[in-house]
Amino acid sequence: MFFFLPSSLIAFLSVFASTFGVAPIDALAISPLSLARRQDSSLGDASSVLSTLDRRTVWNPRIEHPNAQTTWKSGTRVTVTWDTSSMPQNVSNSHGKVLLGYMTDSSESENLNTTHPLADGFLLTAGKVEVQVPQVPSRKDYIVVLLGDSGNHSPRFTIA
């Protein structure tokens, strides 16, 4: 059986797996309690693992633009913006990536184009990044996903 996971959960599991040296599938089965009990030479003692988890702050900024009233035209330059007012002092990953996707009413999949990011490597602390709108079919259910410290998607908007 296959499950479609939101990009924010996939991003979290990827960071979790690389931080703690477990395969991504193992990350699904590890709870904080079982992690605390785990004695593994690659992880050190349980208290140091929990201390590392306590220090990690995940920031999930709200995307301000595009929003539900937005219409982009293919081939134009636009600015994606997000709210930085709730940014923690210690952002775990300060560089971001913006992906274009779409969501249909019949599925929760974000259908993200991971091959061609709209932007990559910019500072999340900037609160904005300029992107080129790709030549894509007209739809009213596009989204952008902001990846970096975590993942967050915009409301659905139109590209004409």
Please give the structure tokens belonging to residue 128. Answer: 């904005």
CATH number of 63-159: 2.60.40
3-state SS, one letter per residue, for 36-105: HHCCECCCECHHHHHHHHHHCCCCCCCEEECCCCCEECCCCEEEEEECCCCCCCCCCCCEEEEEEEECCC
> How far is it, in rounded angstroms, from Cα 75 to Cα 132?
6
Q: Please compute the mean of the pLDDT values over residues 108-136 and round it to a whole number.
A: 95
Predicted TM-score of the model (pTM): 0.65
Q: Name the percent of the chain lying above pLDDT 70.
A: 64
The CA–CA distances, whole Å, from 2 to 5, 10, 85 equal 10, 14, 37
List, by residue range, all CATH 2.60.40 domains of the chain.
63-159
Q: Give the per-residue pLDDT at 36.
A: 40
> How far is it, in rounded angstroms, from Cα 142 to Cα 97?
17
pLDDT tens digits for 77-112? 999 999 998 888 777 778 999 999 999 998 889 999
Q: Are 134 and 144 in contact (CB under 8 A)?
A: no
